Structure 1
Amino acid sequence: MEKERKTMNHPVESNDAAPLRFRGKVDFQSHYLPPAYLEFLRTHYPGSPDGYPTPDYWTPDWQRDKMDLLGIAYAHLELSSPNIFLPQADDCLRLARKINDQGAAIVAENPTRFGLIATLPLPWAEASAAEARRTLDELKADGVGLTTNHHGVYLGDPRLDPVMRELDDRGAMAIVHPTAPPVSVPGACEGLSLPAFEYFVETTRAFTNMVLEDTFVKFPNIRWVMPHAGAFVSILADRFESFAFMLRFADPDRRVDYMDAMSHVYYDLAGFSEPKQLADLLRNVPDTHLLYGSDIPYTPIEAVLGQARALEGTDKLTEEQKRMAFTGNALAVNPKLAGIPALARAASEPAGNVAVKRDGRWHVRLLRDLFPHRHVAVRVPVPPHEAAPKIAGAVRDAAAARLAPDPGDDPALTARYDVRLNSPVGVIAIPVIVSYDDMTRTSFHGKAKIMGIVASYRDGVRDGTRHSFDIRVRLPFGPLAVHLDADVSEPDGSVVGTAVAPHRRPMPFTGRRR
């Protein structure tokens, strides 16, 4: 151990003697080990937690030395795995406060190089919400660090909602790191350290659970940073999207939108994102959501140098995209960085108008400034130079997603029905709006929401109790045209009918006026 420590605690020469070209990197996966955390590890996780030795040689001087070697201008200091847990909430809170206070002291000595990522006493939600308020408001932490699960409670679990609300209200940055799963499979992958495989499974499981629980929809203002280029998320995206589509059958208002969630969050490129992961990630997310991560001191410095050179030399990114990934994108995620001259110079874009200072605090001009009451769900955060098209798209999407009568429809001639259609793949809930064209009630128009997608229809015809109309909706797998014949009983408004689509047997449905 002593020999390994000496090797890792000094600058090393890379096989390539040329210095790294990008000198203004912002590190979103940089771990620190303050005294209180080391004491916790020695007491509760002696030896090698998660199958990997604890780098107890870490010091602020060691950190700065390696940052200079790697061309890192600023590092967000966060704990790695395992995160803290004590069975009593008060004890866990006291430990979190001690760690955060020690971290704040380290940052105070060099505020232009280090930023504090606060530790929370999760899964104790109320204690964690209180510590989030203290660290963000009083200690001026750059954000909070979360692990994929906290003592078996995964991100996305409604029990964590009090914490998520605190973070969402502040538009806080949350940096996620994988940890050990609560259970393991006996006889499988034994002897393999958790970072080699289980960390990727954990990251993917946590992200998927957040999508299933609509976490990104309920708390749109949290600035999420996912680790290791999203782990298996890019590979799983298309497969999950096809299954998630079926989850919207019974609840058309449920989002469960994997692709939308992927475009919402940011990704650090720590680990071995080159030569394969980066290409997969770029197929699903914008280049403005790529961030640099080193994973020091847990990853050997030789490997970190090699990965940094691979990212600097990759042909998957242009020079401008590399500058944005290393520095520029960070200014949108953590707007206070715009006030550090070295970082402002290192970022070629956005060249200005990145942030404005109000009351001594830095704020990016994000969409939430334009929608303070959040009447419109917007994918946030976004780099400022993307704001205008994002706003226009968000307004269009919000209007399209609303199942509401048209402004000119007469309320006295409009009704809403909740229909349940028996399809070959299960029961699909379809809310339908019927607006009669005039007092004769012989023709009508309206809207229907099918699997989360709103479609308008015209030229509906009424003959006695029979209502006939055609709906055409563009679903992810292609357009779908459906003819519906519905008998509406008065005065109770019950509905019985049949829907017919090409190449399918007639599908019965029932419903009732709301």
Structure 2
Amino acid sequence: MQNNDNDKIDTARRTVLKGALQFGALTAGGLAVAGCGGSNGARTESNTPSTTTGQDNAVGGGNHNNDDIPDPTTPDAPTLPTGNFRIDVHCHHIPDFYRASLAKHGIVTAGGIPIPAWSPSMAVDFMDKYGIQTQIVSISEPGVAYLSTPQERLDMAMEVNNYTTNELIYSNHYPGRFGGFAVLPIGDPNNPLDIINACSEATRAIKILGMDGIGLLSNYNGIYLGDPRFTPLMLTLNTLGCMVFVHPVTPVKPDSIILPTFLFEFTFDTTRAAVNMLYNGIYRIYPRIRWLLAHAGGTIPYLSYRTSLLTVTPALADSLGLEVLDEVKILASYGDLFYDTALSPAPAAMKSVREVTSLDHILFATDWPFAGPAFAVTTSGDPQPRLSETFTDQERLSVERENALKQFPSLSRRLEDA
């Protein structure tokens, strides 16, 4: 009887998961998927300062040109360019050797869904279909955290970063089609070797390989960004002055929730990391790091006011050993972050983002190939048509191209030379 019950439970789980995935594919319509961003170094870049101010970014109430948000019923004078013009700052690559290593360790899913097929030619075909000139690729969960030792994690991170550099970013086969965020060899922040190796590989990736930025996961073994154990790495990233892309991972969750974690848990984990960094002073102490949050910042735009409530109860913050922040610091911090449009092009997300930051801090992203099914019903060639419900065509051009070129000057130069 117990086995029969377990079989029924497993069948129910599979049915719910299948239904959720089918629903997502059928209703995603205008979803945009992707998103990575970076800065670079040796092959070199200069740091681009933020253009927002704390006063411009009032938590939960600052209006960032919302008077200019278009009425979707009103025709727009300008039109979007034709051809490949978009820069996708959040998308993923899965090299064959990395996929094989994951499979060897029993890992065949990420975010609760099967790891999709990927190749450079598949990526180019996707870009050409949706008017994308360049994808800035990154490694999704689990990064290299699944490997057992610091040396194994370092070896795999270096192999991935070498591949991204030589076979994609600077390959003669794909001029101008790829950029890349470096993966760092972190699995156990309690192990000083992991942090030392991460500092070394971050420096190599930016200064020697000329990659476009650094990719970090929201937490490693339950230790979130903002934890003091990451301090040496924060110092290194601040010195490099690079763009750091924060991608969520699956947090510990109740077994009774059987939906795929990408559906909602990912957004919550990004939020945990961003709030933890806020109250541990990361944005203020390391001002040269430019932070790009996946999926429109998780739930940060919507919860920007709620997560600032300790500013009105400084005694509580002090009792928790947290930095006592005033409202201006919080507003400036959230406003200075960068937000991508991956899986979040609808007005509910984008108008919230515009409440906490300025237009030049919003970057186009697709989350391909993991979000591939979301594009199955998008036949117009516009990967995120619902962006037009929040942005004018000129603003869309900024979001989908110009903002990225300003933040990734090395990529901009590569495109000029391509």
Cα distance per residue 1:242-264 (max 9 Å; x no partner): 23332377499743743222111
AA of the residue aligned to 1:30: C
Could you tell me which residue of structure 2 aligns to residue 120 of structure 1?
184
CA shift for structure 1 position 229:
0.7
- Report which structure shows greater RCO (CA 8 Å, sep ≥6): 2
Larger mean Cα displacement after TM superposition, 38-47 or 132-141: 38-47
Gap change, CA 1:90 and 1:280, over 3 Å in 2: same
- SS of the residue corresponding to residue 305 of structure 2 reads helix
Match of 1:74 in 2: 134
Find the counterpart in structure 2 of residue 63 from structure 1: 123
Cα distance, 1:186–1:61 mapped onto 2, change above 3 Å: closer
TM superposition shift of 1:28: 0.8
Partner Cα distance (1:255, 1:103) in 2: 40
Q: Does 1:300 align with 2:372?
A: yes
Give the deviation of 1:170 after TM superposition. Answer: 1.2
Tell me the residue number matched to 2:59: none
Identify the match of residue 280 of structure 2 among 196, 207, 213: 213
Alignment match of 1:24 (pick from 85, 95, 116): 85
The letter of the residue matching 1:59 is S
Q: Give the direction of change, closer, same or farther, for the CA distance of 1:165–1:305 in structure 2 (3 Å limit).
A: farther
Partner SS, residue 231 of structure 2: helix
Does residue 83 of structure 1 match 2:143? Answer: yes
With normalisation by structure 2, the TM-score equals 0.72
Which whole-Å CA distance do the structure 1 matches of 2:234 and 2:385 have between them?
33
CA change 1:192–1:315 in 2 (3 A) is closer
The share of aligned pairs that are identical, in percent, is 27
Residue number in structure 2 paired with 1:142: 212
In the other structure, the counterpart of 2:69 is none
Match of 2:290 among 199, 217, 223: 223
* 1:478-502 CA-partner distances (Å, limit 9, x unpaired): xxxxxxxxxxxxxxxxxxxxxxxxx
Q: SS where residue 179 of structure 2 aligns? A: strand
Which position in structure 2 is the counterpart of 1:237? Answer: 304
Asked if the contact 1:76/1:115 (under 8 Å) is kept, the reply is yes
**Deviations, residues 198-224 of structure 1 (Å, cap 9, x unaligned):** 101101111110101111111111121
**Match for residue 358 of structure 2 among 286, 292, 297:** 286
Moved over 6 A (4+): none
Deviations 1:49-77 (A, max 9, x none): 3321011x211011111011111111111
1:104 paired residue number: 165
The letter for the 1-side match of 2:278 is V
Once the two structures are superposed, the pairs formed by residues 296-445 of structure 1 within 5 Å of their partners are 296-303=368-375, 306=378, 308-311=382-385, 314-341=388-415
- 2:253 pairs with 1:184: yes
CA distance in 2, matches of 1:228, 1:293: 8
Structure 2 partner of 1:33: 94
Q: Distance in 2 between matches of 1:126 and 1:221?
A: 20
SS for the counterpart of 2:230 is: helix
Q: CA contact under 8 A between 1:20 and 1:71: conserved in structure 2? A: no
Cα distance in structure 2, aligned partners of 1:338 and 1:96: 26
CA distance, structure 1, for counterparts of residue 229 and residue 105 of structure 2: 25
State whether residues 88 and 366 of structure 2, in contact with CA within 8 Å, keep that contact through their aligned partners in structure 1.
yes
| Structure with more of its chain in strand, by fraction | 1
Distance in 2, Cα, partners of 1:99 & 1:238: 39
- Say if 1:36 and 1:95, in contact at 8 Å, map to a contact too: no
What TM-score does the superposition give when structure 1 sets the normalisation length? Answer: 0.59
**CA distance in structure 1 between the aligned counterparts of 2:228 and 2:323, rounded to whole angstroms:** 18
Which letter maps to 1:331? Answer: L
Pick the structure with greater CA Rg.
1
- Residue identity opposite 2:135 in structure 1: A
Aligned to 2:111: 50
| Deviations 1:175-216, CA, capped at 9 Å, x for gaps | 1111111x22243x1x21110111011011111101011111
CA distance in 1, matches of 2:330, 2:122: 40
Residues 253 and 50 of structure 1: CA distance in aligned 2, closer, same or farther (over 3 Å) = closer
Tell me by how many angstroms 1:310 deviates: 4.0
User: Are the structure 2 counterparts of residues 267 and 196 from structure 1 closer, same or farther at C-alpha, using a change threshold of 3 Å?
Assistant: same
Question: 1:234 Cα shift?
Answer: 1.2
2:339 partner SS: strand
Letter in 2 for 1:128: A
Q: CA deviation at 1:35?
A: 2.5
Q: CA shift at 1:171, angstroms?
A: 0.7
Task: Flag the 1:25–1:343 CA change in 2: closer, same or farther, 3 A.
Answer: farther
Match of 2:8 in 1: none
Separation in 2, partners of 1:328, 1:305: 27
Task: Tell me the matched-pair count.
Answer: 326
The aligned residue for residue 174 of structure 1 is: 244
- 2:226 alignment partner in structure 1: 156
Q: Distance in 2 between matches of 1:289 and 1:93?
A: 32
Give structure 1 stretches of 5+ with no counterpart.
Answer: 1-13, 345-514
**What CA distance in whole angstroms lies between the structure 1 residues aligned with 2:322 and 2:184?**
35
Q: Where does residue 16 of structure 2 map in the other structure?
A: none
Matched letter for residue 205 of structure 2: T
Deviation at residue 300 of structure 1 after TM alignment: 1.9
1:232–1:15: structure 2 CA closer, same or farther, 3 Å change rule? closer
Matched to 2:308, the amino acid is E
Q: Give the alignment of 1:473-492 within 5 angstroms.
A: none
Q: 1:167 to 1:283 in 2, by over 3 A?
A: same
User: Contact 2:165–2:180 at 8 Å: present in 1 too?
Assistant: yes
Checking the alignment, whether the CA contact within 8 Å between 1:100 and 1:119 is kept in structure 2 is yes
Task: Provide, for residues 224-251 of structure 1, a one-character-per-residue CA deviation record: whole Å limited to 9, x for no partner.
Answer: 1101111211111111222333237749
Paired letter, 1:184: K
Stretches of structure 2 that go unaligned for 5 or more consecutive residues are 1-27, 31-79
SS at match of 2:87: strand
**Does the CA contact (< 8 Å) of 1:93 and 1:127 recur in 2?**
yes
For residues 337 and 231 of structure 1, what CA distance do their matches in structure 2 show? 26
1:290-327 CA distances to partner (integer Å, 9 max, x unpaired)? 10001111112543774955446623212221111001
Q: 1:375-396 CA distances to partner (integer Å, 9 max, x unpaired)?
A: xxxxxxxxxxxxxxxxxxxxxx
1:27 alignment partner, SS class: strand
Give the CA deviation at 1:23: 3.2
Equivalent residue letter for 2:405:
L
Determine helix, strand or coil for the equivalent of 1:314. Answer: helix
